[in-house]
A and B are shown apart, each in its own frame.
Chain A
C-alpha cells in the first residue's frame, strides 16, 4: 500500500510573476495585443516628450515680462501675474479675504464632520452646519449692507471662484429636487407622476446651452419687474433645472434596483410613504447610484464652462479674456492649459472621493 505524499508547491513560471509576467499578460498576450501595444507606445513617444518639454523642461517660470519670456515653450510667469484674475475674476482685490475665508470655513466644516464620527450628536450637528452654510456663503461672497459687509455684485465674480459657486449650487440644489422628481415619477398619483415625467422628459431633451439661453432670456419675462434679474441667478436656475432631471433619472435607476421585497417589508411594517422612502428605500437606492451620481456631477462641473455664453466669466472665459492684455499677447495656450490642469485635478479628486465613498458603504455591511 502506497502512502500519499504531499507534493511541495513549485514556484510559478516566469510568465506569471514579476515585471515580465505583467508585461506578458497585459501587453503582449497575443499578436493583436502586441501590435496595439506597439502602436500605443509609439503614439505616446510622439506626444509625451514634446509636451513635457513645452510644459516643464524648456518652460520659463521666472521672467517678469512677456518680452523676456521664452517664445519656444510655456511661460508660466504669465499665470503667476494673472493668478488672481483666474481665481477671483473681477472680484475687488481688497475683498479677496472673503472667498478665502469661505474656503477655510468649508474645510473646517468638513473636518468637524469627520471628527464627529461615532458621536451621538453627529447628525444634528452636520444638519445644522448644512443649513447655516448657504447663509454664510451668501453673506461672505455677496455681502450685506445691514451686516456691514460691502456688497460685491455678481457680475464681478469670476474665475475658479465662479466655477465652484455655479457647480456647487447646481450640485446641492439639484440633489433634493432630483430625489423629489424620481419619487414623483414612481408615484401612484397620476397628476404627480405626469408632471414629473413631463419635467424630466422635457428638460432632458434640451441641451444645456439652450436652457442657459432660455433662462437668461425667458426667466425675466415671467418675473415682471424693472429690476435687472441677476444674471448669475438665472444661470443657477437653469443649471439646477438641467442637473435635477439627470439626477432624477440616475436615482430612478437606483430605486428600481431595490428589490420589491424591501418595499413590501417596509409596507408590512406599517411605515408611511415618507418613512418607507427615507428609512428603507432611498438609503439603498442612493448607495447603488453613487457612481452614476458622481459621474453626473463631474459632467456638470465640466458643463459649467458653458455659462460663458451668457456673459459670466468662469475660469475658461477668464483664460480667453486675459489674452486681450496688451502686455501679455500670445499666451492663450498657457491660460487654457492651466485651466485644464486645475479642472482635471478637481475632477480627479471628486472621482477618487466617490471611490472611497463606495468602499465605505460596502464595508459598513
Chain B
C-alpha cells in the first residue's frame, strides 16, 4: 500500500438481499484529497461511503482505512470509526443533549479526553462554524443550517483524519445551504481528507480533487473537476449533468 494512500477500496460488492447495491467498486484515496461523489438517486452513493466506516457491511472485496482492514472485528471497526467522522443528511444530533454535550460526547467517551479539554475545543469549533453563542441550547431550538454546522463541529471534535459527508445540504432550505457549504470549503482548505456525496457542483468545482459519478452501484466515471464538467465521457454522465446544471 502506498504511503500517502489513506483509503483503499478493492473489488467491493454489496447486496441487500438479492439486490446488488454496489458492483465491483475500486477506489483509492490519498491523504488530504477531497472527493465528491454524485449520481442519480439510488445509485449507491450513500451505501458506498457508509461502507467506509462500516455502517453497512459488504459481502465481497476489501476496504482498508488508514492501515486498518475492515472486518467484522468490533475492535477494528471502532478503531476505524474513531478516525473517521460522518455528517448526515438529517444532522442526527442527539435531541436530549445540549449542543455542547453533543459535541463533547465522543471526545470524552471514545477518545478519553478530559471534560474541560473537550469543552474548550468544542467552543473553539463552534466559534469556527459561527454559532458559539448557541452552546447551551438544545438541537431543536436551532435552524437546520445551524444544526448541520453543529453536526460538523461534532464530527470535527474528535480530530478525525477522514470526514464523510452524506448529502449534508439536501435537507436544508435554500438560504441555509451556503452557510454550511462555506464551512465545508474552509475545512477542505485545511488538508483533511473528505469524501462528500453532494449535488452542489459549485462546491465540487471549487475544492474537489476528483469527482466521481456513480450509477447502478458502479463507478461510471472519475475525473478532475475541470474535465468532469467540460468533457464528460459517458452518455449517462452527460445526461445527468444536463439535468442538474439546468
A residues contacting B by CB (< 8 A) are 259, 261-262, 264-272, 275, 279-280, 283-284, 287, 364-365
Return 9 A-B CB contacts under 8 Å, by A number: A262-B92, A265-B94, A271-B110, A275-B109, A275-B110, A279-B109, A284-B95, A287-B96, A364-B138
In the docked arrangement, what's the CA distance between A36 and B55, Å? 57
In the docked arrangement, what's the CA distance between A279 and B109, Å? 10
Say whether A268 contacts B53, CB under 8 Å. Answer: yes
Given contacts A279-B109, A365-B140, contact A267 B82 (CB under 8 A): no
Say whether A284 contacts B110, CB under 8 Å. Answer: no
B residues contacting A by CB (< 8 A) are 53, 55, 74, 78, 81-82, 84-86, 88, 90, 92-96, 98, 105-106, 109-110, 138-141, 154, 158
Say whether B92 contacts A269, CB under 8 Å. Answer: no
In the docked arrangement, what's the CA distance between A230 and B96, Å? 43
Q: List the A residue with the shortest CB-CB distance to B79.
A: A270
> In whole Å, how far is B49's beta carbon from the nearest beta carbon of chain A?
11
Given contacts A284-B95, A287-B96, A365-B95, contact A269 B158 (CB under 8 A): yes
> In whole Å, how far is A199's beta carbon from the nearest beta carbon of chain B?
26
| Contacts A264-B88, A268-B86, A270-B158 known; 9 new A-B pairs at CB < 8 A | A259-B92, A265-B86, A268-B53, A269-B154, A271-B110, A279-B105, A287-B96, A365-B138, A365-B140
- Give the total number of A-B pairs whose CB atoms are below 8 A apart: 61
Say whether B140 contacts A265, CB under 8 Å. Answer: no
In the docked arrangement, what's the CA distance between A264 and B86, Å? 10
Q: List the A residue with the shortest CB-CB distance to B80.
A: A270
Residues of B within 8 A of A280 (CB): 94, 105
Given contacts A264-B88, A265-B88, contact A270 B94 (CB under 8 A): no
Residues of A within 8 A of B110 (CB): 269-271, 275
Among B53, B92, B96, B106, point to the contact of A271 (Cβ < 8 A).
B106
Among A265, A270, A279, point to the contact of B92 (Cβ < 8 A).
A265
In the docked arrangement, what's the CA distance between A271 and B105, Å? 9
In the docked arrangement, what's the CA distance between A283 and B105, Å? 14
Residues of A within 8 A of B53 (CB): 268
Given contacts A261-B90, A264-B55, contact A270 B106 (CB under 8 A): yes
Say whether B81 contacts A268, CB under 8 Å. Answer: yes
Residues of A within 8 A of B140 (CB): 365
Residues of A within 8 A of B96 (CB): 283-284, 287, 365
Residues of A within 8 A of B85 (CB): 268-269
Q: List the A residue with the shortest CB-CB distance to B53.
A: A268
In the docked arrangement, what's the CA distance between A265 and B110, Å? 13
Residues of A within 8 A of B138 (CB): 364-365
Residues of A within 8 A of B106 (CB): 269-271
> In whole Å, how far is B229's beta carbon from the nearest beta carbon of chain A?
31
Q: List the A residue with the shortest CB-CB distance to B54.
A: A267
Say whether B92 contacts A261, CB under 8 Å. Answer: yes
Say whether A268 contacts B55, CB under 8 Å. Answer: yes
> In whole Å, how far is B132's beta carbon from the nearest beta carbon of chain A?
19
In the docked arrangement, what's the CA distance between A262 and B96, Å? 11
Residues of B within 8 A of A259 (CB): 92
